[in-house]
Amino acid sequence: MMAQELLSMNTNGEPSGKVRDNGIVVNGGASDKDDTLSKVKVVKKPTLNLLSIPGMTKANNMVRSYFLGMDDADYNYRAKKAATTTIFVTTLIGGPLVGLIPAVACSAKAPSNRNLDVPTSGLVTDDAYMRGYKCEASYIKKHSTWPRYVLASVIWVAVAGFILR
């Protein structure tokens, strides 16, 4: 029997009606002409419940912790101004090629633990939470580094173009 037919069984194990392809069970009626909306009930198609699989409760909690860490980092972590200011000033003074060195160095390195600004909670000991927090903090750090480099490079090129003109 198909899964849809199993859904249309009554308590005695007998089919309670005809199952159409769209998952609707039609009760009664000798033919399709007799089928009316008053005789139709909708049966949900089976879905996979991850919590019913052994071990998935722990995996589900780990995923939730990971995304909670990402949300907390989005709210709490701010890239340090010293790094972005250093990139900006180095690029303005030395040019885009010289400024590229600290920009790559700063964006490639993950934020240190003391700069993470993790809120004090019991979740700090949760590995999945901290992985999510650090991942989002690294993303924020990288995406705050490069706009400063680009801005300083554009200013440097504009000033150099104006001077050399």
Q: Note the pLDDT tens digit of each residue in 1-15.
A: 444 444 444 555 555
Domain assignment present for 61 = no
* pLDDT higher than threshold 60 for residue 84: yes
End-to-end CA distance of the chain: 83
Judgement on whether residues 41 and 106 belong to the same structural domain of the protein: no
Q: Which ranges in 8-126 belong to alpha helices (H)?
A: 56-76, 81-94, 96-108
Distance CA 153, CA 78 (A): 23
Judgement on whether residues 90 and 119 belong to the same structural domain of the protein: yes
Domain assignment present for 56 = no
Domain assignment present for 58 = no
Q: Which ranges in the chain belong to alpha helices (H)?
A: 3-7, 56-76, 81-94, 96-108, 127-164
Contact (Cβ atoms closer than 8 angstroms) between residue 50 and residue 56: yes
Which residue range(s) make up the domain with 16? 3-47
Judgement on whether residues 42 and 112 belong to the same structural domain of the protein: no
Contact (Cβ atoms closer than 8 angstroms) between residue 9 and residue 2: no
Judgement on whether residues 72 and 147 belong to the same structural domain of the protein: yes
Among the ranges given (26-35, 61-70, 110-119, 143-152), the one the predictor scored with the smallest mean pLDDT:
26-35
**Count of structural domains, the chain:** 2
pTM above 0.75, yes or no: no
- Name 15's bridge partners: 9
Domain assignment present for 135 = yes
Domain assignment present for 82 = yes
Judgement on whether residues 38 and 74 belong to the same structural domain of the protein: no
Domain assignment present for 54 = no
Domain assignment present for 146 = yes
Judgement on whether residues 17 and 85 belong to the same structural domain of the protein: no
| The two structure tokens encoding residue 58 | 């722990």
Judgement on whether residues 42 and 78 belong to the same structural domain of the protein: no
pLDDT tens digits for range 30-79: 445 544 444 445 445 454 444 455 555 667 778 888 888 888 888 888 87
